[in-house]
Structure 1
Amino acid sequence: MEPILPTSEPSYQFSNHYAAHQYASADNPSSSSKRYPSKNVRLVPGNILSIDYPVPNAIRNSVQAKYKDIAGHNEEFLMMRYTAAACDPNDFTLKNGYNLRPNMYNRHTELLVGVTYYNEDRVHFCQTYHSVMKNVRDIIQLKHSEFWHKGGPTWQKIVLCLVMDGIGPCDKRVLDTLAMIGVYQDGVIKREVDGQDTVAHIFEYTTHLSATPNQELVRPTPHDGDSALPPLQVILCLKTKNSGKINSNRWLYGAFGRILNPEVVIHIDTGTRVRHRSLLKLWEAFYNDKDLGGACGIIHPLMGSYMEGILNPLIAAQNFEYKVACQLERALESTTGYLSVLPGAFSAYRFRAIMGRPLDQYFQGDPTLDLTLGSNGVSAGSLMRLNRFLADDRILCSELVSKEGQKWHTRLVTSAEAETDIPTSTVDFINQRRRWLNGSLSASIYSLRMSYQLLRTSHNIIRMVLLYIQLLYNVVTLILAWFSLAGFLLTTFVVNDVTGDPPPDAPVDGFPFGKATPIVNAVIQIVYITTVVFQFILALGGRPKSHVRTYTTSFCIFAIVQLYLLMNLIYLSKRLIDFKTNTNGGGSYAYINEYYSEIGSTTVIVTASSAFGIYIAAGIISLDPWHLLSSWAQYLFISTSYVNILKVYAFSNIHDATWGRKSDKEVNEEVIQSTILSPPRGSDTSKTPRGDVNAQEMEHPQEDADKIFEEVVKRALQPHQPVEVKQVNTREEAFLKFRTTLVAVYIFSNFLLCIIVMNDSFQQLWWLGDAYWHKIWFFRIWMWGNSWLLMMQFAGCVWQRMDALRWWCFSRR
């Protein structure tokens, strides 16, 4: 492959968005190309506008000789096909006159890779696109395969579909990159077809070219041999308006999927970098398990070329969170056969498995279907229903596993890995988790409520038992998560009181400040409670972007309190060991042993082993323990903020059921060339015997396309410079009553738990005993609950590793 490097001083400068006259520059006589005469274009029956445009000679010449004129389909390398879809995705059918090149060439599509795009820059786009191209090459380079080398060339069985959610938010540099590889051309998209507005602009081209995140154009050369990038069938769907990710997936499944009928569909978010052979590993999981309906790989946060992201505590904490989630939580869910979430950043589904009810329920979250669905539309639903579609991938998982009469299951494929970008600032982090937490809460309640549907499936008895064990696990997780606000507060206050305020008859002073420790603890308690209350005020009264320093300070306060708590826990452990071994004056710490004995030695040992030992053991078993050294400490310091800041903000803004995308851009509607569908005066207006209608289209000679291409390449290969844009966020003001009720119940229930445990005025409650035993019973329940969840996850981790070994030994290639 030969990379074409950008020049150090490009002569062409351009802004983030094209102006109206630039957008149609291909037909503007004052631009680089001159105006050419028009020609009549016959519409496909059904008045479908589909036109082939010649690609620039530079792109034609990049096609390797061995791929030219394959089975008479040479036009897929010479011509870019454009289709103006003036219809809903459900109406994009063969019956209505629409078609796609792979189907026109009678090719079987085994793997459909869907990449969803909103407003990401070209660096994020290129790292996703280039990683897909290299993974396709991995599949083609297989030496021994029972499947891929049968029934035609391997590359003809793979299709990449790029779905861009609206022209307005789209980064024009990304379109320049797509034009540089032949998939897109300026000046050909149409506003209307036969008087109907164009809903989506569909471009098709089979390209050999790729672009790296460093703005290098990669093309095959005669000396590359098998190392050259193979042809890739690309479908670009550029939606006219921004209508959401669920609508983008309607185009992927409801429009393109029904025509291509692939076996496996892989989802990738723009910005995700797929690692070596990971697409192949995901596909192999389906190939070796006929009952596998969905799967996902392991997702790693992008940490930078030299792991410099570790220096940011927020990134390091998320790195630990991602690692632990895959090694423990996802491993347990994979063991039972029900992954509660298949992340859209990198996941896959068997197409026929999710057709029917799973997709029908999922697509109810598309706002463009509100008129069609009526009361079942997303806008007509309750607030919990609206938030449920923020966790849209959870809905698909639940409906897939519980599909009536079927026995589909989901699993984690540990050999398939990808890297994705994560929030690096407190504002983006809070906004992302607002959507995640509210969506997962609503989706979890929905899956529990619909659990009876499992009885209608064809799962065997062992699978059914495992699935209902996981349901019990999910219930316990939901309860503990709800009371986590009180749990962190009580743990902090009680542990600090035990170490800092020994009984009057104890021969030792409080730790760590002696007799002044109770005063310091009281100050910490006041600061802690004040900061928590202040989070509700911030969350109810403003957006994170307006209080960046305040939220950053809050993260720091909770980190300091957590550090103080960890220091006291270490002190308690040390003094307890001294008491048991009667060393270092251990007899002076009998009061610590009293708490230890009342809570129960088994409870304390199991909790300590679970909280620390399971993370270490899981990392070693998974052969990936390095996050324990690089990110564990940062996660411990920020863990309190996950509840006290993120969850408080999420619940306080549950009425905001919008996606809250990262780094939103101003939406500027571009001016699009309209097609003149009525014939000019004096022309023959009679219809053909087939009822076809003629439209006027301007000719695009080859020399014109080459000249425009030169300008596109100059722009596309310019060094990337991030552009600062003003954010425009919209906020729903409805559902405030529900928000108020939820926040009130959340505060009251956690506050009531704190009062029962901490307030000595409750002399006796018959089910708990006196106030002293309130603390004992709280710690028993809290510690055993969390320990049970961790032990369940560890059991899943062990089984997952054994299952991965079995797959490595016996799976088909």
Structure 2
Amino acid sequence: MCTHVASMTRQSSSSSTSQMKQPIARAIGVQLAPAQLLSCLLSLWQRPWAQGNNGAERVSDAGPGGVVGGADDERQALLMPPPFPVLCIAASENLLNQKYLFGLCWCSLALLESDFSSTAPPYEDGYHHQQHAEAQHSDAAIPFLGHGEEANSGFYPQRGMSTSPNPYQQSHNAASPGPLSVSDSMNDGMTRYSLQDTGAAIFPGGQDPNMGLHRRSGISTPASETPSDAWQQRNAPASGLRRYATRKIKLVQGSVLSVDYPVPSAIQNAIQREYRESEEGFPEEFSHLRYTAATCDPDEFTLRNGYNLRPAMYNRHTELLIAITYYNEDKVLTARTLHGVMQNIRDIVNLKKSEFWNKGGPAWQKIVCTLVFDGIDPCDKNTLDMLATVGIYQDGIMKRSVDGRETVAHIFEYTTQLSVTSNQQLIRPQGNESTNLPPVQMIFCLKQKNSKKINSHRWLFNGFSRILNPEVVILIDAGTKPGKKSLLALWESFYNDKNLGGSCGEIHAMLGKGWKNLMNPLVAAQNFEYKISNILDKPLESAFGYVSVLPGAFSAYRYRAIMGRPLEQYFHGDHTLSKQLGKKGIEGMNIFKKNMFLAEDRILCFELVAKAGFKWHLTYVKASKGETDVPEGAAEFISQRRRWLNGSFAASLYAMMHFGRIYKSGHNIIRLFFLHIQMTYNFAGLVMTWFSLASFWLTTSVIMDLVGTPSDANKDKGWPFGNDASPIVNNFLKYGYVFFLMLQFILALGNRPKGSRLAYTLSFIYFSIVQCYILVLSFYLVKNAFTGGTLDFDMSKGIGAFLKSFFSSSGAGIVLIALVSTYGIYFIASFLYMDPWHMFTSSWAYFGGMTCSINILMVYAFCNWHDVSWGTKGSDKSEALPEAKTAKDDGKSNFIEEVDKPQADIDSQFEATVKRALAPFENPEEGDEKSMDDSYKAFRTNLVLLWIFSNLLVVLCITATGIDRFCLTNTSTTRTANYFSAILWTTAGLSIFRFIGSLWFLGKSGILCCVSRR
């Protein structure tokens, strides 16, 4: 009989509540006798009450009665029937008369009925919301989530807790479970929550935190499943018996799906009361997550086509748009970046004497943070759990397609005050402390397919920015942590210079606790490289007004400055536009232009400075700092530099070939003059780079011969191994140098770095040993010049005699100038910028590995010139998402039917999400990358042959004795000395030029710091 009633309920699931009351009442009052009713009630008690979409049991065995949180959790009234012993006692004492039994059965069947179908008045935005029975949303059903001083320890508070109404209570007549328990309070005033604290609150009595975890999430996940598999199950379309109510959602303009979903109670009530109950605010901003399934190209994401974003809907002016681009970084790197951004937003909001941020509304409403994930397939699913913990993502709501139109991007919007640190600690506000994180308007764009970083920027600039119209857009790569007030410093550079089009901050390597990462020579060398670039190169280019590259990992642009041609040229590298652009698209480009778009940020910088009719310039902001992780292994380091070197080489040639467009810009004559000087400097650097292979070999040979081979004329002794052994050792090192150099070409043309780790590691070690040996010989050569009588200090012969001896063929004076102008300038400039520590901790690795940058990195880059892949691939994970199919109502409007989960289920699934997000991080094993593309190997071969032939020709012309009669000089020794002198003088000249530019920038920055506004 119970089965009959249950089947009647399922058959009536599509009807309304009013339509179902009469059949059920008739079934209870007419067809069932009291004994049958009791039997039916007992059978109903035994059914699996709490089932997810796939029929898996939802309740946990962790607490008494199978309810998460224990017997004191008042949500038992929703999840479980009365205990079986109570029914037995009631029956035995004849307390269940026929009338009372009818009522009890009716309550049980009404609870069943609410699991299937009900209706409610439509929302103001046009779609119908079919909610559950009122009993499920009463204050007694779900306890209130305390906040601040009212918060109780534990995930859910105890009974009898006093409550006060909030916007969510007023609109839903419900309150919700309490916050996570406090773990510790750090010196920055923010309260942190760890997995252990959360687990102790969710599982009282010290029970196993893993017990029932997957059942609570609605998915039964075996321990052997990967996070990706579990994610697919959580987002798979519902199957089996449908237990949730549904609602009708009207599509915007008949085609755009945009839905508000309630966020877990612990998230919405973590928002400070002053924001939740603000009269000028929007309650759904903190209580609901807005999801939009974008089925269009980024260029078509417009108001005209029915798409919109919350900040624009609320008529807020967006001054600063912060964009975090993501590919496949883990949750630690993503949390590091996101938490750093939220801390920087707090620095801006807490400004007391600002001339701008404190006017025209709260500062936090002028800032929007956007996360753009490049595809479902490559993204780390644990990162999605971390985002769900702070409220900007939910499982199970994404749609693979809308009425047959494939979804291109899944867009989530929510304003949150929660954050997760890189060591998996949850941050929430406490009281009204100034250290609390302010509300942050979040836009999370999860692209359905992997389509490269340029496409992510197209969503940012052509999609979101067109609607929000920000003044400044800051670009940050996932994994880069902005320093304190770094984003404010970037924004201030635009606020104080109306002609500034772009800026960048200082990027430095992540050194670890106690700088332990500097024990790795590769990390130390990269740290030194970053520091010297930020002390000499970036200030020099900033002094001219054209920074050749604003790194996409940490840079900012004025949005109206890059609109038009700069963005048009920049987006020619987007693969999704290849068919539309034809020959101008990435698929129609030659191999040179394709390599150019490996360094697309350099193209954007040049196009911005050369923009016709404008005088935009670029600058470097020393006060803005960003910390990023760097490769720690040889294979990863080589692969990274391959893209950097090839892209920068091609982009530099592009800028030189199109330099004439500068004359169409609005720059004044002084700026144009200095831009010409800078272009000359860049050309000289490019020539030096091209012939660096020959230069390093000749420098190594010359210094070995000068010191190690004894000279009969000057009666010098071979050093350091004596007259007999020194030449032998030097020749052995030379042969080894040539052998390992040839090995680099063989490895680069036929092997991947990850497949030849040992060979590349040995190559790094050998070239570093040779470079250190050359440095020792160089210092000995200088020392011997001052003590061995090589230099003539007798001033009675005149200054000419001293200069003649100083610049003699021995080369000691020139070597001294080169050493001082290089290493000496490094020390002086570092101390002037009050940042000298890298000279003592990292210089040894950089100086020892200088040869490797040419003999290993550049050889591999040029030998793989044909490889322009970024690892683009399709998305198989999106197939797990459900589809949204439309229907027409009586008014002929398109709508879809959407599952409407009760708040209790949302909160229960959130518990499992928090535990996954705050779980300790484990490094996954790296898989093999796909093989290289073979289509451009012919061009690669010609380029490498030209490079080798030109460098070999230089070496032969300088050292070969057979061509003496064809040269102006008679001996190869003289030519070698002259070439060696030219190399050293050029190196010294370029270093001094960089130093002068660095001094100019330092003085200019000091003056501007005194007069800048905030």
Shift of 1:772: 2.2
2:495 aligned to 287, 291, 308, which one? 287
> What is the letter of the counterpart of residue 845 of structure 2?
Q
Determine the structure 2 residue equivalent to 1:651: 862
Structure 1's 274 and 643: CA in aligned 2 closer, same or farther, altered over 3 A? same
Inter-CA distance 373–811: structure 2 relative to 1 (3 Å threshold): same
Match of 2:313 in 1: 104
Query: What does 1:542-561 align with in structure 2 at a 5 Å threshold?
Result: 542-561=751-770
Give the SS at the match of 2:556.
strand
Farther off after superposition, 459-468 or 290-299: 459-468
The Cα of 1:16 is off from its aligned counterpart by 3.0
Residue in 1 aligned with 2:61? Answer: none
2:360 is matched with 151
Match of 1:448 in 2: 656
> Which of 248, 251, 271 does residue 459 from structure 2 map onto?
251
Match of 2:349 in 1: 140
Query: 2: distance between equivalents of 1:804 and 1:362?
Result: 30
Note the 1:596-611 alignment, pairs <5 A: 596-598=807-809, 603-611=814-822
Aligned to 1:316: 524
Shift of 1:725: 3.5
Question: Aligned partners of 1:35 and 1:803: how far apart in 2?
Answer: 68
Preserved contact between residue 432 and residue 660 of structure 1 (Cα < 8 Å): no
Q: Deviation per CA, 1:380-412, whole angstroms, max 9, x where unpaired? A: 101010011100110110000000000000000
The 4+ residue runs of structure 1 with deviation greater than 4 A are: 25-30, 592-596, 599-605, 665-668, 684-687
Contact between 2:237 and 2:882, CA under 8 Å: does it hold in 1?
no
1:3: which partner in 2? 192
2:767 paired with 1:566: no
Match of 1:38 in 2: 246
Task: Indicate the larger mover: 429-438 or 789-798.
Answer: 789-798
In the alignment, structure 1 residue 168 sits paired with structure 2 residue 380: no
Deviation at 1:669, TM superposition (A): 2.2
Q: Counterpart in 1 of 2:592?
A: 384
Q: Post-superposition shift, 1:673? A: 3.0
After superposition, the C-alpha distances for 1:330-369 in whole angstroms (9 at most, x for unaligned) are: 1100000000000011100000000000000000000000
| 3-state SS of 2:258 partner | strand
1:512 alignment counterpart: 720
The offset of 1:685, in angstroms, is: 5.1
Partner letter of residue 555 of structure 2?
A: S
Structural mapping, 1:711-730, within 5 Å = 711-730=912-931
Cα distance in structure 1, aligned partners of 2:254 and 2:456: 24
1:210 and 2:419 aligned: yes
Q: 1:540 aligns with which of 743, 749, 753?
A: 749
Where does residue 707 of structure 1 map in the other structure?
908
The aligned amino acid for 2:235 is A
Deviation for aligned residue 1:503: 2.3
Structure 1 CA distance for aligned equivalents of residues 764 and 243 of structure 2? 60
Partner secondary structure for residue 393 of structure 1? helix
SS of match in other structure, 2:624: strand
- Find the counterpart in structure 2 of residue 325 from structure 1: 533
Please give the residue correspondences for 1:22-33 in structure 2 after superposition, counting only pairs within 5 Å: 22-24=233-235, 27=238
8 Å CA contact 1:274, 1:418 repeated in 2: yes
Give, in whole Å, the separation in 1 of the partners of 2:925 and 2:240.
33
Q: In the alignment, what sits opposite 1:234? A: 442
**Contact preservation (8 Å) 2:598, 2:647:** yes
| Structure 1 residue aligned with 2:339 | 130
* Equivalent position SS for 1:441: helix
Name the residue aligned to 2:611.
403
**Residue type of the alignment partner of 1:751:** L
Give secondary structure in 1 for the equivalent of 2:498: coil
CA shift at 1:55, angstroms? 0.5
CA distances 1:702-744 after superposition (whole Å, capped 9, x unpaired): 1121111111011111111111132232421111111011000
- Identify unmatched segments of 5+ residues in structure 2: 1-189, 200-207, 214-222, 793-800
Supply the AA of the counterpart residue of 2:195: P
State how far apart, in whole Å, the 2-side matches of 1:21 and 1:125 are: 21
Tell me the CA shift for residue 672 of structure 1: 3.5
Decide whether the 8 Å contact of 1:488 with 1:640 is kept in 2: yes
Question: Which whole-Å CA distance do the structure 2 matches of 1:128 and 1:79 have between them?
Answer: 25
1:79 aligns with 2:288: yes
Residue in 1 that maps onto 2:31: none
* Cα 1:189–1:782 shift into 2, 3 Å: same
* Contact 1:25–1:186 (8 Å) recurs in 2: no
2:566 pairs, out of 355, 358, 361, with 358
Q: CA deviation at 1:425?
A: 0.4
Name the structure 2 match of 1:752. 953
Of the structure 1 ranges 696-705 and 611-620, higher mean CA displacement relative to structure 2 is found in: 696-705
Instruction: Decide whether aligned partners of structure 1 residues 167 and 805 sit closer, same or farther in structure 2, where only a CA change above 3 A counts.
Output: same
Partners of 1:254 and 1:767 lie apart in 2 by 61
Structure 2 equivalent of residue 263 of structure 1: 471
Within 2, Cα distance between the matches of 1:771 and 1:755?
Answer: 10
User: Could you tell me how far apart the structure 2 residues matched to 1:629 and 1:359 are?
Assistant: 42
Superposed CA RMSD in Å reads 2.2
The count of residues paired between Structure 1 and Structure 2 equals 793
How far apart, CA to CA, are the structure 2 residues paired with 1:20 and 1:268? 27
Task: Say if 2:905 is the partner of 1:696.
Answer: no
Q: 2:379 is paired with a residue of what secondary structure?
A: coil
Give the conservation status (yes or no) of the 8 Å contact 2:326–2:478. yes
Shift of 1:767: 4.6
Unaligned runs of 5+ in 1: 584-589
Instruction: Report the Cα offset of residue 139 of structure 1.
Output: 0.3
Matched, 1:633 2:822: no
Report whether the alignment pairs 1:18 with 2:229: yes
| Rounded Cα–Cα distance in structure 1 between residues aligned with 2:883 and 2:760 | 51
- Larger CA deviation: 622-631 vs 13-22: 13-22
Offset, 1:803: 1.5
Look up the equivalent residue of 1:710 and give its one-letter code: E
Residues 461-481 of structure 1: CA deviation (Å, up to 9, x unaligned) = 111111111100000000000
Return closer, same or farther for 1:36/1:430 CA change in 2, 3 Å cut-off. same
Structure 1 partner of 2:644 = 436
Q: Which residue of 1 aligns with 2:550?
A: 342
Task: Quote the offset at 1:46 in angstroms.
Answer: 4.7
Conserved? CA contact 1:666–1:726, under 8 Å: no
Q: What CA distance in whole angstroms lies between the structure 2 residues aligned with 1:602 and 1:559?
A: 25
Look up the equivalent residue of 2:729 and give its one-letter code: V
Which is bigger in relative contact order (C-alpha 8 A, separation at least 6)?
1
> What is the letter of the counterpart of residue 537 of structure 2?
E
Partners of 1:605 and 1:191 lie apart in 2 by 67
Q: 2:996: which partner in 1?
A: 795
Instruction: Tell me what 1:762 maps to.
Output: 963
Q: Answer whether contact 1:496 1:521 (CA < 8 A) is retained.
A: yes
CA–CA distance in structure 1, aligned partners of residues 869 and 993 of structure 2? 34
The structure whose Rg is larger is 2
User: Residue in 2 aligned with 1:496?
Assistant: 704
Aligned residues of 2:270 and 2:428 also touching (Cα < 8 A): yes
Aligned-residue sequence identity (percent) comes to 48
Name the structure 1 match of 2:38.
none
What do the CA deviations read for 1:625-659 (whole angstroms, capped 9, x no partner)?
A: 11111111111111100000000000000000023
Residues 149-175 of structure 1 show CA distances to partners (whole Å, capped at 9, x for unaligned) of 111100000000000000001111110
In terms of mean alpha carbon deviation, does 76-85 or 767-776 score higher?
A: 767-776
Q: 1:169, 1:666 within 8 Å by CA — same for their partners in 2?
A: no
TM-score in terms of structure 2 length: 0.76
Q: Hey, what does 2:634 align to over in structure 1?
A: 426
Write the distance in 2 (CA, Å) between the matches of 1:769 and 1:693: 90
Deviation at 1:40, TM superposition (A): 2.0
1:110-165 deviations in Å (ceiling 9; x for gaps): 00000000100000000000000100000011010100011110000000000000
